Chains A and B, each alone.
Chain A
Amino acid sequence: MRFFYYLDLARRSFARHRVLTALMIVAIALGIGTSMTTLTVLYLLSGDPLPGKSERTFYVQLDAGGKEGFRPGEEPNLQLSRYDAEGLLRARHAPRQALMTGGNGAIDPKRAGVDPFYADVRYTSADFFPMFDVPFARGGPWTAQEDEAHARVAVISKELAEKLFDGGDGVGRSVRLDGHELAIVGVLEYWRPTPHFYDLFTGDYGESEQIFLPFSTSRDLELERSGNIDCWDEAGLTSTAVNAPCAWIQFWVQLESPAEAAAYRDYLVSYSEEQQRNGRFMRPPNVRLRSVMEWLDFRRVVPSDVRLQAWLAFAFLAVCLLNTVGLLLAKFLRRSAEIGVRRALGASRRAIFTQFLVEAGCVGLIGGVLGLGLAWLGLYAVRQQPVDYAPLARLDPTMLATTFVIALVSSLLAGLLPAWRAARIVPALQLKSQ
């Protein structure tokens, strides 16, 4: 096989120019290592948190702001007021809808030897679980009737169940949150959507909450909320009251088709008009209905530092490749005499070209393998960073394959020009100069 002969030639060439070959391999490895590290992080952070469903799941915005500070065409409030969120939930104009907000509270483990601890909580409504495909290990979600009845129920995470019940099943037992007993109706499987898309106001890449309970119940118990709250009027002491002029609730709907989405948007406009007529809304209807990915894009969830790092790494890879082109050129032309002899003995231009491309490809592959090691180290370094997405930074098969493709393609590209120059060497001239 010709190919293996070329491989053997490449091996000999590497052995003869050890330092130069090592230089090229190290340069490619560095370039590949840095760019794969940053690309993996970028890829993980810009992923779809709700695959297969994200284009059918929408985030609702209404403009409930006050008369003051109004500028036509501005973005409406990023969240809904409690009045509007509860109203839209009751109206049930979408097949599925859920209101939600973040919170936290002290959990009393009711077990000797375990101290009370603070946990993140989500106050939401029944459709949250089927709408976001939340996986259950035991039991299931609470019902819409339980939402209306302000039932003292909760769904807890697998981690919390393990902590509270020593690995035992929690369904049917209760959890004590801020001094209130809540009956556990379901225990989740491990669930951590990335980004934390359904509430970007409690950390873009945070972990999901440990306890979920009906929003209605959380208001009865006056549990503590967290996240962002925007008040446009004097809120007084109770910014979480039904009629408070404050936006602090996220509202998601699932709509099956573009027609359904258009109909829901119309409904939001007519709802706004009705509120304006009632004197509640001071501004003309201004609604938004963004799908999951549109919403993430609009909120610029992927940190700009991460995107900047990816650009930096690819600029670095470009310089490394340019460097490789130069070194390969030097290396190949240094062997002009050898090429001249081979050509004189009957090797075609194509054969010379292929031979040198194989050599360049080998440099790329070895550099790629080393680069993969560097990327693995780089991702390890990212995991040590104080960012909420740190634990996610790991190589997956897609990125592994991408690494090799990038390494091979880029080294072949780098080898193209030098190999072409080598193939153009005129045999007679080389033989004469000897």
Chain B
Amino acid sequence: MTLEELEVFVTTQANVSMEAYYWWCTALMITIHVGFLMYEVGASRFKNAVSSAVKNLLAFAFMIPTFWLFGWYIYLAFPGGFTPIDLEGYGTPWNVSMGPMLSDQATGVFWAAFTLFACTTASVFSGAVLERIRISAFVFLAVLLGSVCWILGAAWGWHPDGWLVTQFGYHDVGAAGVVHMIAGWFAFGVILNLGPRVGKYNADGSANEIEGHDLRFSFVGLLMIIVGFFGFLGGCLIWAGADLGGWINIYGAPATLSSFAFNTLMGLAGGMIGAFWMSKGNPFWMMSGGLAGIFSCASGLDVWYPGLAFVLGFVGGVIIIPANNWLHSVFKIDDPVGAVSVHGVAGIWGVVAMGLFASGYPAAGDIPPTSFGGQLVGCIVMFLVGFVPGYGVSFVMKMMGWLRVPDAVQIAGIDQAELGLRAHTSA
């Protein structure tokens, strides 16, 4: 083998390994959807279990083509704000860049990872609207969230040229703000207009607990989501293949898979234990707390000391329960799975914690170092990117009569009324 041949061989192997890595991250992220599906089927009453599953699967299915149509383009074209940069057609679906190119083995794989991020974001929203949102309305809102709002937030807070990054040093490697805050507060905006399930609230304003029909599904589903998040978080790290010596974070600074491994697990454990304590042993909240623990650490997964990650996760697991209770009592919302609290509130904690405990960390080039002020600005922006379109668009849909399943259909059960199906025949 000549030296040139050896160089080609090594470069090819490095690039193929990098592409395969994101391929398997994408595959692993599909288990997040297995998890969300099981979780939400379990949290639904028997009469709505199938439609909850259909809704979940449709979000996944619609996210893929819409992210190909315009989501990926939004990420590439809008890092500066609301004015697109001129990409000379790159990233538009009829451009050759959006199909297989022999000279570019990686774009499709990166697109796939981002598409699964979009699918995950839409799945977060699906739990909050269980049992009373029209499936067609849900699909429309999910596309808005996953293929427009979230990816716009990512263009601003993840893209190395994003204005939150270049002007404020916003640091959010694991997407506490970019995914979880946007999804959680989008869901909050929608459920303010959607209204509660029939029977959730009494005339005097007191709330009734509406139990899901199979908690075992929910427990296993939540654990599956955690498995899938190793694909999600793994996909948040950048492996430049043959270009650079090792891993970098999305902002170009050195990072390690080791840091993600340490801190994801420690944050997960802290969240589970904190929520176990706060909920007095409720396994639903314990598992949700585990997720919240990961989100609490997500912004700074690359830099936390593992002991601090555990404490951050513990706090996240503790706060989601009173936050969920407060949101329900003040706003009279109906959030069957606590999505607003687990994602929206824990996401805020994750973004702000980066500013409180990890200010001064550098990024590549002229990107400012991390700061509390930068994280606070990012926090406000991510809240607005989620809440404003969620509330505004669902308000219009409500006025059009295209949002809520009528009460009579809710009482009869969506499965039988709309699908003519039963989840199983043993009940």
The finding on whether chains A and B are genuine partners in a shared complex, rather than unrelated, reads: no
Interface residues of A (CB under 8 A from B): none
Interface residues of B (CB under 8 A from A): none
